């Protein structure tokens, strides 16, 4: 049985930071704890799923046998890795029909496995770097080498997937016979792919059902469907997990550390969810006295994130590739933020947006750069503002 599992993703990590789909690490990340029974079921079932996805990333993972439920449990480090890649994720509804010839079902739990010594040593070396920046980049490299998640429950066998836009796919993928492709009537826009088996054989087969029932030698079986996966950090010892959690928390800071209390007439906004994205432009609208609208454009987002009044911005500060805002100077009075000015790591200074009424305050975190804003909107003005800074 172990011979059948060798090289099929058993005990290996998988990188899920790319929107193009999963990538298996070449390194074995975990090992089974000796003496525990191995939960493996041999079978020869054929089953299919129809899944609808809303964006390109989800579609690419579903097409490779990773249903969205298997991707729900991600560590903050994985979320950061996904964001730092600055990938555009177009919105489009797609339908995937996924057919699996299930040969083996592997069912592991976290209690069945332990990290290989080299993995924990890699994290210890990364965490031993002298600065937060060096630590974080070393940790990111560990995940890149070893993977973000460990598949626990998965199927090994052969699969066939067809993905198409929802509008077109509804015409043929809903067919209950395999892929609805008994004579291969796929649209020109359809994407079809196989895992395991001999893909060349399918090119000569008119009947999908016959192809799926063909005898496939063991060496052509693959890991074709992931049912459950766990973040890589969950298998580490408690000390390493704690150090990694503290390091990730230290990658973002707020300046000032707190804002004013929100009154009954005010509302708060929080841009911390954008902390690891790359900022490309900051725009504002000022009535000449106070800042009423603040807009932040991120490189991978199709639309800017707006805070404050529903006004078109009348001033903007655009950043070039590799340029980051390091200092934000605010002028503020008792009514709200009057003016704002920004400096970058390339020595560029923005215009003074708004007025110079009120008292100036510098928002800066040494070694960090601006990632977003949080604050309070009151009486149709940006009343208070807090800078979110990142250090990765």
Instruction: Please report how the helices 117-127 and 238-250 are oriented relative to each other, as an axis angle in degrees rounded to 10.
Output: 40
Q: Provide the 10 A C-beta neighbour count for residue 145.
A: 15
Cα angle, residue 229 at apex, residues 84 and 64 outer, rounded to 5°:
75
In whole angstroms, how far apart are CA 263 and each of 266, 335, 359, 376, 385? 5, 13, 22, 9, 15
Helix and strand tally (H, E) in the chain?
Answer: 9, 21
**pLDDT tens track of the chain, all 392 residues?**
555 666 677 899 999 999 999 999 999 999 999 888 878 888 888 888 889 999 999 999 999 999 999 999 899 999 999 988 888 888 999 999 898 989 999 999 999 999 999 999 999 999 999 999 999 999 999 999 999 999 999 999 999 898 988 888 777 655 545 444 454 456 678 888 888 877 666 655 455 666 667 778 888 889 999 999 999 999 999 999 999 999 999 998 888 776 666 666 788 888 888 888 899 999 999 999 999 999 999 988 888 999 988 888 889 999 999 999 999 999 999 899 999 999 999 999 999 999 999 999 998 878 889 989 988 998 889 988 888 888 87
Give one DSSP letter per residue of 240-263, joined into a string.
Answer: HHHHHHHHHHHTEEEESS--PPP-
Task: Specify the pLDDT at position 12.
Answer: 94
In this structure, the strands spanning 191-195 and 113-115 are unpaired
Read off the tokens for 381: 């003005």
Residue 289 pLDDT? 92
Q: Residue 286: enclosing H or E segment and its boundaries?
A: strand 279-286
Q: For residue 291, which phi and psi values (nearest 5 degrees)?
A: -80, 125
- Both tokens assigned to 340: 């704002």
pLDDT score of 3: 58
Rounded Cα–Cα distance for residues 107 and 10 (Å): 10
Give ∠ CA 369-370-371 in degrees, rounded to 5: 115
Tell me how many degrees the CA angle 160-162-168 measures, rounded to the nearest 5: 160
Q: Which of 335, 377, 375, 380 is nearest to 359 (CA)?
A: 335
Give residue 178's pLDDT. Answer: 47
**Strand 291-298 and strand 279-286: pairing?**
antiparallel
Fold of 252-390: Vitelline Membrane Outer Layer Protein I, subunit A (2.100.10)
List of residues 6+ apart from 369 with CB closer than 8 A: 324, 325, 326, 345, 389, 390
What DSSP element (H or E) covers 202?
helix 199-202
* Residue spans per domain, the chain: 2-249, 252-390
């Amino acid at each position: 049985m172990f011979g059948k599992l060798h090289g099929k993703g058993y005990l290996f990590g998988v990188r899920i930071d790319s929107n193009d789909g999963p990538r298996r690490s070449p390194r074995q990340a975990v090992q089974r704890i000796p003496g525990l029974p191995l939960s493996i079921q041999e079978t020869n079932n054929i089953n299919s799923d129809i899944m609808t996805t809303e964006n390109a990333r989800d579609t690419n993972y579903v097409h490779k046998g990773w249903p969205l439920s298997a991707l729900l449990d991600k560590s903050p480090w994985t979320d950061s890795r996904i964001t730092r890649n600055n990938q555009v994720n177009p919105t489009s509804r797609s339908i995937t029909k996924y057919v699996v010839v299930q040969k083996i079902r592997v069912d592991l739990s976290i209690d069945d496995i332990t990290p290989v010594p080299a993995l924990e040593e890699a994290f210890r070396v990364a965490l031993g770097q002298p600065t937060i920046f060096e630590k974080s980049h070393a940790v990111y490299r560990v995940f890149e080498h070893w993977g973000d998640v460990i598949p626990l429950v998965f199927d090994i066998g052969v699969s066939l997937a067809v993905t198409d836009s929802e509008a077109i796919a509804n015409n043929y993928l809903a067919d209950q016979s395999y892929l609805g492709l008994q004579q291969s009537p796929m649209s020109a826009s359809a994407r079809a792919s196989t895992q395991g088996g001999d893909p060349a054989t399918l090119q000569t087969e008119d009947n999908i059902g016959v192809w799926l029932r063909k005898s496939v030698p063991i060496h052509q079986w693959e890991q074709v469907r992931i049912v459950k996966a766990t973040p890589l950090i969950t298998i580490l010892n408690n000390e390493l997990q704690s150090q990694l959690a503290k390091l990730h928390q230290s990658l973002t800071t707020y300046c000032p550390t707190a804002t004013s209390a929100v009154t009954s007439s005010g509302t708060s906004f929080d841009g911390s969810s954008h902390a690891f994205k790359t900022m490309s432009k900051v725009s504002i609208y000022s009535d000449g006295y106070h800042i009423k609208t603040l807009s932040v454009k991120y490189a991978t987002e199709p639309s800017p994130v707006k805070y404050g009044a529903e006004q078109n911005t009348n001033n903007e500060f655009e950043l070039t590739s590799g340029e980051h805002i390091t200092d934000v100077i605010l002028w503020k009075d008792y009514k709200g933020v009057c003016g704002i000015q920004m400096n970058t790591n390339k020595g560029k200074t923005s215009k003074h947006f708004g007025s110079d009424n009120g008292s100036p305050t510098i928002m800066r975190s040494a070694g960090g750069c601006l990632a977003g804003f949080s604050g309070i909107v009151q009486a149709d003005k940006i009343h208070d503002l807090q800078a979110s800074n990142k250090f990765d």
